[in-house]
């Protein structure tokens, strides 16, 4: 459990007040200490709904780190991070409470995940797929209550990334510069997670409610004085955080973590100046009942949070099939009330 001594920066996360987290702040960077493990985090509160903390190897300011211990606390229903700031060609992280979790907590020795995580990738402003690069997530602890969830985890291969099978998709978050550019997004209780009850890499979500990019200054004293190797040795026992993903193509990695090999999707985002969202756009001529390869037999009126992949898969279509019966459709952004076709004669 966590305890929070805090200012108004974390006033929305009242459930942490029952646990063992201590907060201080220097130069805009919050320093979080978990008294139950001794792990000390550089942390940031880019939104009233999101807190992210990072503990790094002791030499991270001299040699760019490729891994970290993370702390993430969010208001329900789900949240996400970008380790490169924007959405495209950056490693993304999806987090949400598992369907079996209620007001509870667990350590890495537990067999059940209170919070599930999934690494994602987007090569354009379309639905992110599972990240297939060399990265691994494992849990240290997690907790949930009726309004919030939190997880402490280890993320290996997450600060330097290459999406396998793609060109121009290598990137990194260079810790030696002492400053990272990160992104966040959040969806409230009205945006549920579906399809990820067993495996987080199969989760589907509607568009987020808020998003942003933030600068994350790294407090040098926290990194140099930390005991990263000791924390990893003592608290990371290798428990995976993606659920039981073998059925969708994941394979167990070293120590029980899941190395994602499947291709699944998350709601797309399109940035304005931040990590924003895109959905299916209305074409220059309205699709559906209008001109196309045969008259439309079944149509659908777009509502808030819809995008083309979600509409297609919810109606038993591939994305290519959906576009074929809706000629002229583009993904940049969809107006509520647009009529699309789901079947033609």
What sign has the CA pseudo-torsion 252, 202, 16, 276? positive
Which residue among 259, 284, 305 closes a domain?
259
Which residue among 232, 259, 286 closes a domain?
259
Q: How far apart are CA 112 and CA 105, in angstroms?
A: 10
- Does residue 44 sit in the same domain as residue 116? yes
Band of pLDDT at residue 302, cut at 50, 70 and 90: confident
Give how many domains the chain has, as a whole number: 2
- Better-scored residue on pLDDT, 122 or 233: 233
Is 160 part of any domain?
yes
Q: What is the pLDDT of residues 132-182, one digit of tens each?
A: 889 999 999 999 999 999 999 999 999 999 987 655 468 999 999 999 999
- Mean pLDDT is highest, among 7-11, 39-43, 99-103, 305-309, for 39-43
Q: What is the CATH number of the domain that holds 318?
A: 3.10.350.10
Is 1 part of any domain?
no
- Does residue 237 sit in the same domain as residue 315? no
Q: What is the CATH number of the domain that holds 129?
A: 2.60.40.1210
What is the chain's mean pLDDT, rounded?
Answer: 75
- Does residue 73 sit in the same domain as residue 169? yes
Is 265 part of any domain?
no
Is 267 part of any domain?
no
- Does residue 16 sit in the same domain as residue 109? yes
Query: What is the span of the domain harbouring residue 255?
Result: 8-259
Q: What is the pLDDT of residues 81-112, one digit of tens each?
A: 999 998 888 999 999 998 766 555 555 434 45
Q: How far apart are CA 288 and CA 309, in angstroms?
A: 16
- Does residue 332 sit in the same domain as residue 240? no
Q: How far apart are CA 74 and CA 116, in angstroms?
A: 12
- Better-scored residue on pLDDT, 28 or 48: 48
Is 273 part of any domain?
no
């Amino acid at each position: 459990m966590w305890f929070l001594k805090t200012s108004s920066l974390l006033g929305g996360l009242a459930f942490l007040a029952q646990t063992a987290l201590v907060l201080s702040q220097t130069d805009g960077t919050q320093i979080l200490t978990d008294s139950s493990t001794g792990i000390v985090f550089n942390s940031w509160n880019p939104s009233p709904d999101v807190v992210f903390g990072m503990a790094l190897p002791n030499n991270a300011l001299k040699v760019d780190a490729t891994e970290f211990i993370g702390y993430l606390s969010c208001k329900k229903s789900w949240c996400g991070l970008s380790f490169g700031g924007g959405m495209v060609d950056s490693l993304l992280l999806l987090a949400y409470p598992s369907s079996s979790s209620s007001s509870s907590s667990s350590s890495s020795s537990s067999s059940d995940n209170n919070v599930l995580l999934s690494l994602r990738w987007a090569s354009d402003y379309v639905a992110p797929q599972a990240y297939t690069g060399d990265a691994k997530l494992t849990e240290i602890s997690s907790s949930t209550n009726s309004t919030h969830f939190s997880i402490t985890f280890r993320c290996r291969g997450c600060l330097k990334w290459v999406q396998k099978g793609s060109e121009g998709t290598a990137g990194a978050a260079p810790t030696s510069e002492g400053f990272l550019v990160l992104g966040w997004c959040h969806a409230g209780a009205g945006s549920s997670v579906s399809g990820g009850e067993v495996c987080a890499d199969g989760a589907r979500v509607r568009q987020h409610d808020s998003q942003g990019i933030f600068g994350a200054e790294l407090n040098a004293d926290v990194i140099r004085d930390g005991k990263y190797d000791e924390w990893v040795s003592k608290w990371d026992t290798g428990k995976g955080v993606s659920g039981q993903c073998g059925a969708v193509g994941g394979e167990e990695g070293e120590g029980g973590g899941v190395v994602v090999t499947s291709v699944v999707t998350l709601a797309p985002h399109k940035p304005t100046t931040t990590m924003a969202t895109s959905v299916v756009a209305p074409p220059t001529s309205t699709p559906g009942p209008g001109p196309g390869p045969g008259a439309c037999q079944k149509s659908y009126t777009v509502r808030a949070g819809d995008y083309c992949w979600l509409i297609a898969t919810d109606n038993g279509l591939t994305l290519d099939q959906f576009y074929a019966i809706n000629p002229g459709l583009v993904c940049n952004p969809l107006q509520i009330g647009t009529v699309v076709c789901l079947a033609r004669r």
